[in-house]
Amino acid sequence: MANSFTSQNQSMPSTGRSTQVISVTSGKGGVGKSTLVANLAVELEKQGKRVLLFDGDLGMANLDIFFQVRPQLNISHVLSGEADIRDIIVPISPSISLIPGGSGVFELQRMAPHAKQVLLDQVSDLGTIYDVMLIDTAPGIADHVLYLNSAAQEILVVLTPDPSSLTDAYALIKVLHQRQRETKFSVVTNQVRDEADGWRIFHRLESVAAQFLPVSLKYRGFVPADPHLRHCTRGQQLVTKSVPQAESSRAIARLARDLALPGLEYGPGHSTSQGFSEVECKGNLQFFWRQLIGAA
């Protein structure tokens, strides 16, 4: 079985580098996580990056809607043996591809050992094609959300001014630390008034985490709640394409540039936004899949 990914792949030679894997997650729904992921992909492409999207939101998978595509296959077809991983990848643009998640994400760790090895062999061929993989997780602390986050190199927590967003983001970080031994988290503040508002909200989370958890936080940036972003999201459009000069578009472009600089170390033993230095990354695309299916 084959799809148009095959021809797209022929025009995407190896980058010669490992794929940077970033999960975009939140403690609660309604924080604009999927909108952010889709727009980040567009900005990363503008910056010359090859992007692989993985829709890991089982109940509300909607990345395909933003790009106006209708996937016929998803990860569940790989688990059933009906398709290879390449068969389900949907080309979005010359440099953006999508792995539709579907309900199969939850079953990945239950694969038979031989099936896991087959999947890893398939994924190894993708390892140097893409520069970045963005994972859109479901909100909350369900097991499949924890698996996706713990397998990524960088966990990017989306936070909004809503007080419940702060509470639930802290809960997510706490559970990921307690159950998955994660100690490093990145944070982006979304739907804020301006940069000062974004920093204020981040510092609230930073203060609570510093008191009760041995984790480190890095502030990655903010996205303002401008009317162009709201209008485009309601119309299932991408603001970075429709209104590239909007404040939100420029903020997402800055965030994309920042995220494209991997290998940053978090401050030792406490929340911080400074003192980062270049270190070896936690893993790559192959590492992600090995962790996700329990083959590490």
Q: Which domains does the chain have, with CATH numbers?
A: 5-292 (3.40.50.300)
Give all strands of the β-sheet with 96-99 in edge-to-edge order. 90-93, 96-99, 51-56, 132-137, 20-25, 154-159, 184-192, 216-224
Rounded mean pLDDT, 255-280: 56
Which of these, 1, 286, 7, lies nearest to 121 by C-alpha position? 286
Predicted confidence band at 115 (pLDDT cuts at 50, 70, 90)?
confident
**Mean pLDDT across the chain, nearest whole number?**
85
Query: Bridge partners of 52?
Result: 97, 133
Helix axes 143-151, 163-180, angle to 10 degrees: 70
Residue 109 to residue 29: CA distance in whole angstroms: 25
Please check the confidence at residue 16 and state whether its pLDDT lies above 70.
no
Q: Between these two residues, 24 and 129, which has the higher pLDDT value?
A: 24
Residue 230 to residue 6: CA distance in whole angstroms: 36
Residue 110 to residue 86: CA distance in whole angstroms: 21
The number of beta carbons lying within 10 Å of the beta carbon of residue 45 is 20
Predicted confidence band at 141 (pLDDT cuts at 50, 70, 90)?
very high
Map residue 224 onto helix, strand or coil.
strand
Q: Which residues contact 184 (CB under 8 A, 6 or more apart)?
A: 154, 155, 215, 216, 218, 266
CB 27 within 8 A of CB 158: no
Angle formed at CA 178 by CA 173 and CA 180, multiple of 5 degrees? 85
Rounded mean pLDDT, 3-25: 68
CB 291 within 8 A of CB 151: yes
pLDDT, residue 296, reads 52
Most confident region among 11-15, 28-32, 54-58 by mean pLDDT: 28-32
Q: How far is CA 107 from CA 49, 58, 110, 145, 237, in A?
A: 30, 11, 5, 12, 32
Amino acid residing at 251: A
227 burial level (CB within 10 Å; 0-12, 13-18, 19+):
exposed
Rounded mean pLDDT, 193-219: 97
